Amino acid sequence: MSRLVVSGLTKIYGNFAAAKDVSFEVGEGELVSLLGPSGCGKTTTLRMIAGFITPTRGSVTIGEDDVTRIAPWSRNTGMVFQNYALFPHMTVAQNVAFGLEMRRIGGAEVRERVQSALQMVRLDHLADRYPRNISGGQQQRVALARAVAIRPRVLLLDEPLSNLDAKLREQVRIEIRTLQQELKLTTIMVTHDQDEALTMSDRLILMEGGVVQQIGTPRELYNRPRSRFVADFVGQSSFIEGEVVAPGQFRSIQGALLSCPERDASGATLNTGKATLAIRPEAIRLGPAAETAPPGHAGKVEFVSYLGSRIDVHVRLATGEAVISTLRDLAEPLSVGDPCHVSWADASVTAFTA
Amino acid sequence: MSGRVLLRAFAAPGLTIVLLPIVLVSWLAFFSQEIPSFPPEGHSLRWFSAAFSERKFASGFLLSAEIAALSTAIGLAVSIPAAIALQRFRFRGRGTLGSILLFPLVIPGVVLGAALYIFEVQAEKTTDLPLIGSYAGLVIGHVLIVIPWCIKLLGVSLSGLDRGIEEAAMNLGAKPWTTFRRILLPGIRPGLVAASLFGFVVSFGNLEMTLFLVGPGQSTLPIAIMQYLEWKVDPTIAAVSVVQIVLIGAALLLTDRYVSLSRVV
C-alpha cells in the first residue's frame, strides 16, 4: 500500500472546468471520501486517479511514482465500479482471477489468491457461479474481491453502496470498512451520501463545482464547517439570515435580535454586514411554552417527523424564523400547532459571512 | 385473457400465410408423380435421390456455401470495427457513415447487381484486372449485402454491453487489445453468432445480384435451381428446397439455443 498525492489536478472540457486545482493527500492505509452533490467533480477526480481521464493540469503520485501520464492498465489501482462491472461471461472465480492473469501470475498461485480473496468476502462457495446468478450484494462483494486480489497500491471505490437496498447498505458499509482496515488499504471512496462518508471515512473531502470546499475528519466537518455549503451538506442545520449590527449582535431579516459569535467560521472577525447563522438541530432545545429559563424564544410547532430513534421537530419562531430541533424523546408529546419555548447555547452558533 | 385471444386471432392468419408455402413445398417434394398435381398419386423419396445425384445442385450448393462463408467472414471483419466506431465515437459524418453501411439493405438486388456489373466493366477497362465474372467480384458483392446485417446485429449487441466492464478490465491490467479479445468480443458473442448466421443465410440465398456477377460455369445453388426450372418442372426442386429449409432451420434453432433470436433481431 502506498501514499497517494493529488496535486493541482484540473480537468477542463471546452470552457467548463469539471475539476479545478484539486489537491489532497491520502496516507497509507487511510480511507478518504470524496463527497459532494452530483456534478461536483468527485467522479472526474477519481477517474483521473484511475487513469481513465487525462488531466488538463496537475499530477497524481502513488508512492514515489508520478503516474499522471501512465496508462490505466499500468497504474495498479483496484477499482470497484458503481454498477460493479463484473465480466458477465466469466464465473465469480474467473472474474477475480482476471487481474492476476494479467500480471502473469502462475496457475497455482492464482487459485490460492482467488480462494483467499473470495474467503475474505465470504463468497468462496459461489466461485463457480456466473454474476447473473448471484444477488446484488454478492456481486458487490465479488467486485471488491476482484479489486483487492491484485493487491493494488490504491483502492478506488466509486459509489460502492448506491445500488444496494438500505438494510444491506448498512451491513456492507461495515464490511468494507473492516476489510479496508484489516488490509491497511489506501482507499479513495466517491459518494454523494453524507452518512456513508461520515461513518466510513478517516477524512472527508467535500467538493462543489469542481472545487474542494473543505478537507477534514468527519468530526471537523460536522462541528467546524468552514462555509455555509459545508454546514448545509454535512448534517442538518437551521439557517437564519440577517446582518451583524454590532460585535456579537445579529438581527435576522424578520427582525429578531440574536446574539452571535464575534468570529465567523473561518476564524476572521465578523464585521457588521450581511451574515448567516447556522445551528445544528441537536443544539436546539424545546421546552413548554411557560418556561422562561434559559432565555430563548417563543415558537410554534409546524411539523413533527418521528424517526424512531429520534424526533425532528420543525418550529417557527414568533418572529418568523424556521428552525429544526432533534430530540431523543419527547417528555410531553408535541403536536403541530403547539406553542413552545425554543433555546440554544450561544456557543453552538456558527456564523458565515454572506 | 381477451387480449391473448385477440393476439392469436391476428397471429394465426399471418403465421398461416408465412408457413403455407413451406408446408406445400415440403409436401410436394414427397409426391411420386413427375408433374405436380393434387391430389398426389403416391409418395416417394425419389426426388431427393434425384436432387443429390444432379451434379449442378451439388456443385451449386458447395459454391454457395463457400461464397457465403467467405463473404460472412470478410463482412464480419469489416463490420466489427465499424460497428464499434459507430457505437462508441462521436465524429463528423457518423450518421452518414451509418446510413451508407446499411444502404445495401434497401437497394433492390437487381439494381445492386447491375451497378456492380457496370462498375466491374469500367474498372476492368481502365485497370486491366480481370474482374467481370470473377470469383473475387462475386465475393465482393456478397460482402456488400452481408455488411448491413452484421452492422445492425453487432450494433444491438454493443449497445447492450456495459462500457464499465472494459474499464474494469483495463483497471485490472489488461491492455486495449487484450480487453478487446477477452472482454468485448465475448461480450458481444450473441451479436457475432447472429450476424454470422444472418450473413450466411442472406448470401447463400441471394439470386438477383448474383445473376449479374457470376462468370461462365459458376452457378450458385439459387442459380442452379433457376436454370433447372427453365427446362423442367418436377419435384426435384421441391426436394432441393426442403434440404435448404432443413439446414437453415437447424441453424436457426441451434443459434436460438445460445442467443434468443427474438431479442437480437
Buried b (16+ CB within 10 A) or exposed e, B18-37: eeeeeeebeebbbbeeeeee
* Cβ contacts of B165 on chain A, cutoff 8 Å: 85-88
Same domain, A185 and A315: no
* Final residue of a structural domain among A211, A228, A245: A228
* CATH code where residue B254 lies: 1.10.3720.10
The answer to whether residues B197 and B189 touch, using CB atoms and an 8 Å cutoff, is: no
Same domain, A137 and A268: no
Question: For A124, which DSSP code?
Answer: G
Same domain, A240 and A224: no
A276-333 tens-digit pLDDT: 999 999 999 888 888 777 788 889 999 998 888 888 999 999 888 899 999 887 666 7
DSSP A142-165: HHHHHHHHT--SEEEEESTTTTS-
Q: What is the pTM of this model?
A: 0.81
Query: CB distance B172–A99 less than 8 Å?
Result: yes
Identity of the residue in A71, A78, A83 whose CB atom sits nearest the CB atom of B164: A83
Please give the residue of chain A at the shortest CA–CA distance from B165: A85
* Predicted pLDDT of residue A111: 92
Interatomic CA distance for residues A9 and A55, integer angstroms: 7
Same domain, A253 and A201: no
CB contact set of B54 (below 8 Å; sequence gap of 6+): B228, B236
Please count the structural domains in chain A: 2
Instruction: Please compute Rg for chain A using Cα positions.
Output: 25
A229-251 tens-digit pLDDT: 999 999 889 999 999 988 888 99
Task: Judge whether B42 lies within some domain.
Answer: no
Give the ipTM: 0.84
Q: Look at residue A41 and give its three-state secondary structure.
A: coil
Task: Judge whether B8 lies within some domain.
Answer: no
* CATH code where residue A24 lies: 3.40.50.300
B125-157 tens-digit pLDDT: 888 888 888 888 899 999 999 999 999 889 888
Interatomic CA distance for residues B104 and A255, integer angstroms: 77
B186 to chain A, any CB pair closer than 8 A? The answer is yes
| Backbone phi and psi for residue B127, each to the nearest 5 degrees, phi listed first | -105, -10
Range of the domain at A166: 4-228
Task: Judge whether B113 lies within some domain.
Answer: yes
Same domain, A42 and A179: yes
Same domain, A189 and A264: no
C-alpha cell recorded at residue A21? 486545482
* Cβ contacts of A88 on chain B, cutoff 8 Å: 165, 187
Question: At A1, is the pLDDT very low, low, confident or very high (cuts 50, 70, 90)?
Answer: low
Which segments within A192-296 are labelled E, that is strand? 203-208, 211-216, 238-246, 249-252, 257-259, 273-279, 284-288
Task: Judge whether B133 lies within some domain.
Answer: yes
Task: Judge whether B35 lies within some domain.
Answer: no
* CATH code where residue A295 lies: 2.40.50.140
B194-238 tens-digit pLDDT: 888 888 988 988 888 998 888 887 888 888 888 888 887 778 888
Strand-pair partners of A155: A78, A187
Range of the domain at B247: 50-263
With a cut of 80, say whether residue A53 has pLDDT above it.
yes
Task: Judge whether B188 lies within some domain.
Answer: yes
Same domain, A211 and A341: no
Same domain, A41 and A139: yes
| Sign, Cα dihedral of B30, B33, B34, B39 | negative
Please give the residue of chain A at the shortest CA–CA distance from B164: A85
* Final residue of a structural domain among A180, A211, A228: A228
B77-104 tens-digit pLDDT: 999 999 999 988 888 888 898 888 888 8
Strands A249-252 and A257-259: antiparallel
Instruction: Please compute Rg for chain B using Cα positions.
Output: 22
Task: Judge whether B226 lies within some domain.
Answer: yes
Please count the structural domains in chain B: 1
